[in-house]
């Protein structure tokens, strides 16, 4: 059962360029060390105030391993977060429903 993680974070003013650099390094890291990750993307809003991360993992174990491996990158990300808000505005994890959940 695949897992989709979507998280939205608020950035400090002017932090988008540094965030893009960090994410570029993170994508390279994920691609080289986590071959099981299906997708890993980050999108910025037009105002460069928020970024949304979308990850797709084949299973819970892949998500667990990913979380452990990127701990240092996550700490760097917090440095770019807006100080007056929680860094993470929203996070959701979804799974693909089993065959029994899909109407026929």
pLDDT tens-digit map of 7-58: 888 888 888 888 888 888 888 989 999 999 999 999 999 888 888 989 999 9
76, pLDDT greater than 90: no
- Per-residue pLDDT tens for 54-69? 999 999 899 889 988 8
pLDDT at 34: 92
> How far lies 94's CA from each of 40, 43, 78, in Å?
15, 19, 24
The full set of domains in the chain, from first to last, is: 3-95 (3.30.70.100)
Task: Specify the pTM.
Answer: 0.73
CA distances from 68 to 21, 39, 45, 93 (A): 21, 17, 27, 17
Which helix (H) or strand (E) segment is 45 a member of? none
């Amino acid at each position: 059962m695949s897992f989709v993680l979507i998280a939205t974070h608020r950035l400090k003013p002017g932090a988008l360029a540094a965030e893009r650099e960090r994410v570029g390094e993170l994508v390279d890291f994920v691609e080289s060390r986590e071959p099981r990750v299906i997708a890993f993307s980050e999108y910025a809003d037009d105002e460069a105030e928020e970024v949304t991360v979308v990850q797709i993992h084949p299973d819970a174990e892949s998500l667990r391993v990913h979380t452990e491996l990127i701990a240092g990158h996550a700490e760097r990300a917090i440095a770019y977060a807006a100080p007056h808000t929680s860094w993470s505005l929203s996070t959701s994890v979804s799974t693909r429903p089993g065959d029994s959940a899909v109407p026929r």
